[in-house]
Structure formats: C-alpha cells, structure tokens
Amino acid sequence: MTAAAAIGRAVRGRRDTGGRAGPLKAAERRAGILFSLPVILLTGAFLFLPILQTFYYSLTTWDGITASWVGLDNYRQLFSDPVFWRVLLNNAFLLASIPFAILIPLVVAFLLHQHVPGWRFFRSVYFLPTAISWVVIGMVALRVFAAEGILNTVLRILGLGAIRTDMLTNEYTAMLAVAITFIWSVFGTNTIIFITGMATLDRDFYEAARVDGAGSWAVFRYITIPLLMRFIQFAFILTVITGFTALFSLIFVMTSGGPGYGTTTLEFFVYQKAFAQGVFGYAAAIGAVLFAIVFAISLVQRRLLRSRED
C-alpha cells in the first residue's frame, strides 16, 4: 500500500511538473520547429519535390522540355518490355549478394573487435575501398577480371590456367564480377559501421559469457548479433540503396551495361532510356519503379527486424 501511494505521488508530481512546464515546453517546441524549418524546406526542395516530379513525368511523354499526359501508358509499356524484366533480374542478383555484403564485414568486425594481432593495420586496410571513387574501383575491377587481368594471371601461376576465363565478355559471369566488386566496395563501410556498433556494447555481457564457457561462435551468435541489430539494419538499408542507386559509374567503367543487357541495372537503364534514347517520360517511369522497390525492401526489412526484436 505504501509503494502504491509512493507511485501515486510520483505520478501526480510528474503530472504537476508537466503542467507547470507546459508553457516552457510549448516555447521549446516552437523554437525547435523554427530552427528546423530551413532544413525541412531544403529537404523538400532537393528531395521530395524531385520525387514528386519523377512520378508526374512518368505519366507523360516528356522530351526534356514539353510534357504530354499519357496516364499509365509508360508503365504498361515498361511491364510488357522483356528487357525490363531482364534488367530487374540483374537487380535481383545484386539483392541476393547483399547478405554477403553484410555477413562478411560483420564477421571481420567481430574478429577485429577481439583485437586479433594486427587489428589496427587491418582496420585501416579494410576501410581503403571506402576512400576510393567508384570510377577507380571500376578501373581496378576491369584489370582484375579482364582476359589478361590479375585473376587469370594468378590462376596461371597456381597451375590452374585451364580454367582461365574472361568474365566480362559473358552475360552471366559479367554480372558476377559486378556483384563481387560491389561487395568489396561496401566492405570497408560496413566493417566500420559494425566496429563502431560493437564499441558501444557492454563488455560485461562478453565476460559473463566467457565465464559460462561460451565459445566465440556462441558469443557472436547469441550476444553480438542481437545487440547489434540496429547497426545491421542501418548497414542493410545503406547497402540496398548503394546497390540499387549508386553503381552507375562502376558499371559504366566495367561493362557499360553489357554484354547485351547482362549488367544493366534499373539505375543504368534509366540513363540509357533518358540520355541515350531521349525518352525521358519512360525513364521517369523506370525511376519511379526503382524508388518503389527500394522503399518496399526497406519497409519489409524494418518490419522483420522489429518483429524479431519484439
């Protein structure tokens, strides 16, 4: 009964304090809105407005100057185009590579967090791809996967010259080369994200697990991963956005979308339709579909992680 009375007094006190602080909170809220207004306006002008314009122009035939309303004709044409489905399959292949782009850095970050010998050196080396532009990464990948590239040279030195291949001239192996390069390019960023996340974890959990006899795998699976879910979610969304909207320079340098449409992604398809063929309304429809896919993937991923946490 005494505890209940104490709780009641605390609640009433908090309520009274809230009442007295009402005008102050209202003033703080108005100040917060006022100071946030420039950011909101800039975000709306440079982010939300272009998105709305893209959806509008996707319903028109637009040559870059004049637009004529055609409704859903661009979408009907798009979904009946076999090339679009081929390009969508390429994006699905990149999406399938994202778990590797998350899991590999996660394991490496865990090892570095355990302060294995040379962990400072390796942390710097792993971050290197992040400091390199996509064009440079594409040029490096071109030298690795070409017919006379580094990969075939290494295979020849190891006595495996019989499996020599030019990955960039085959429709399917070229997409594999792009996916491998993509995983390597985001490796440093994701590793740093996970190392940062692990630095915030309470080491008492690890010490308690060690005392109970838990091995490294058990600690990684049952302690590190659950506590790191927010960082994994952030890395996943960042990697999805990168894979779907930031590989234009890489693909342009490595394969220019070929052979055929073997490495053409939706992002590159927008460029081909808009600037190579001049059908801007059709390209806007592709961009709208790309936005919807990335948005849907992010929502599903957030829902899955939230349900797992609950």
Structural domain contains residue 68: no
Cα–Cα distance for residue pair 235/225, rounded to 1 Å: 13
Verify that 127 and 219 share a domain, yes or no.
Answer: yes
On whether both 188 and 53 belong to a single domain, the answer is no
> Which residues of the chain fall short of a pLDDT of 50?
1-20
Answer yes or no: is 205 within a domain: yes
Asked if 17 and 129 sit in the same domain, the reply is no
Let me know if residue 65 belongs to a domain. no
Measured CA to CA, the distance from residue 273 to residue 263 in angstroms comes to: 15
For residue 81, being part of any structural domain is answered with yes
Q: Residue 276 carries which side chain, given as an amino acid letter?
A: A
Residues 15, 117: one domain? no
**pLDDT confidence of residue 111:** 85
Same domain, 42 and 128: no
Asked which of 32, 57, 82 is the last residue of a domain, the reply is: 57
pLDDT at 157: 86
Residue closest to 91 by CA, chosen among 175, 202, 189: 175
Instruction: Answer with the one of 29, 57, 85 that is the final residue of a domain.
Output: 57
Does some domain include residue 62?
no
Q: Are residues 9 and 112 in the same domain?
A: no
**Total number of domains in the chain:** 2
CB 267 within 8 A of CB 245: yes
CATH number (domain holding residue 209) = 1.10.3720.10
Give me the pLDDT at residue 307, please: 58
Q: Are residues 204 and 250 in the same domain?
A: yes
Do 41 and 108 lie in one domain? The reply is no
CA distance 162 to 142: 21
153 and 179 share one domain:
yes
Domain that holds residue 45: 2-57
- One domain for residues 222 and 301: yes
Q: What is the pLDDT of residue 7?
A: 33
Amino acid identity at 115: H
- CB-count burial class (<10 Å; 0-12, 13-18, 19+) for 12: exposed
226 alpha-carbon distance from chain centroid: 20
Is 174 a member of any domain? yes
Q: Are residues 44 and 142 in the same domain?
A: no
Is 64 contained in some domain? no
Residues 181 and 44 in one domain: no
Q: Which stretches within 58-170 are classed as H helix?
A: 73-79, 82-113, 119-127, 134-145, 150-157
- Residue 66 in domain: no
